[in-house]
Amino acid sequence: MELNEKIREKQMSENFILGIMLALTGGFLDAYTYITRGGVFANAQTGNIVLMGINIAKGDFDVRVKKEKDDELGALCDSINDMAAELGTAEKMKNDFISSVSHELRTPLTAIKGWAETLQTGGIGRETYDKGMNVIVREAERLSGMVEELLDFSRMQSGRMRLILKKIDLLAELDEAVYMFTDRARTEHKNLIYDEEDTMLSPILGDVNRLRQVFINVIDNALKYTNPGGTVRVSAYEDDGFIRVIIKDSGCGIPAEHLPNVKKKFYKANQNVRGNGIGLAVANEIMELHSGSLDVDSEEGMGTTVIITIPTMKKLEMNPELSNTTQIPTATAQVQVVERKQD
């Protein structure tokens, strides 16, 4: 009796292994026979769950497991189907991102190539030459910015994004970021209003370049989604040991169903506006590394408000548990390189 049981277990194992191999090579019907009728599982649904899992692992996120009963297996079927739906959504967002990046890269490359060929032919006036060179320089800078954004995203994904922290005046960096967009706002017939704080704000420990990157990304988005004649208003204030920067626009706003996803990687609520869908995800990561936050509030047709929050240096020193980085920044060190804590 014991020998027969061992033989049966050996046959079940062999059938299971062979079934998996057949499934991985595309022989799903034969695999189903080996797995279910071969005695590996107590019923056909269990074997079907395994096969659907194999399909999902191979990248088919449209498959669904048929739920037969409201029992443990039924709950497992629901979980697998939910997982497949989430993976399918993520796959679509990734593909949309690749398509968007390809388009974003192609546009400046086309402009650079076109003007380079025009200038190469010679025989053009000084005004046309200067115009062409300005386009080439501007589009090259745009390409450089996109590549840097992609590199930041790669660092974020691999947990290698680092900050170089030092004591800074946040308002000085915000002033510079707003000033960068003054001419653009005027050219696009949009109102960019900066409500400058009369009093000095407490110093923070921050990465100058990274914080400027966050401000530029958010202000750029605000102008991008605001129609001519609309307004983008920037302000900052200190409250209970935190500095809050408010960037509010009168643009098109974000539909309620899209709002929970706007900070997710690859996500674009509006596919008709330029952008690759990773800028806000990177900005959010930068703020979390600063032990701060980036919150988005919006109403469709009414505009969007972004609130950037960061603790003051004193607040962080008195409450080290607020830090999201591997080191607790202190005022005594002029420069510190920090990275995110590992969960």
What's the mean pLDDT when you consider all of the chain? 76
Range scoring the smallest mean pLDDT among 56-60, 80-84, 309-313? 56-60
User: Which pLDDT tens digit goes with each residue over 66-104?
Assistant: 777 777 777 777 887 888 777 777 776 666 666 666 666
| 191-195/231-239 β-pairing | parallel
Range scoring the smallest mean pLDDT among 7-21, 86-100, 195-209, 230-244? 7-21
DSSP class of 34: I
Does residue 67 contact residue 77 with C-beta atoms inside 8 Å? yes
State if pTM tops 0.75.
no
Identify the pLDDT of residue 7.
Answer: 52
Residues 6+ apart with CB under 8 A from 200: 169, 171
Mean pLDDT across the stretch 13-38?
48
Mean pLDDT across the stretch 314-334?
65
Q: How many CA atoms lie within 13 A of 339 on its CB side?
A: 10
Mean pLDDT across the stretch 30-39?
48
Mean pLDDT across the stretch 169-189?
91
Identify the pLDDT of residue 250.
Answer: 93
Identify the pLDDT of residue 38.
Answer: 47
Does residue 228 contact residue 187 with C-beta atoms inside 8 Å? no
* Phi, psi dihedral angles at 159 (to 5 degrees): 70, 25
pLDDT band with cut points at 50, 70 and 90 for residue 241: very high
User: Which pLDDT tens digit goes with each residue over 118-145?
Assistant: 888 877 888 888 888 888 888 888 787 7
Q: Which of 203, 264, 195, 189 is nearest to 231 (CA)?
A: 189
Q: Is 37 helix (H, G, I), strand (E, B) or coil?
A: helix
Does residue 115 contact residue 138 with C-beta atoms inside 8 Å? no
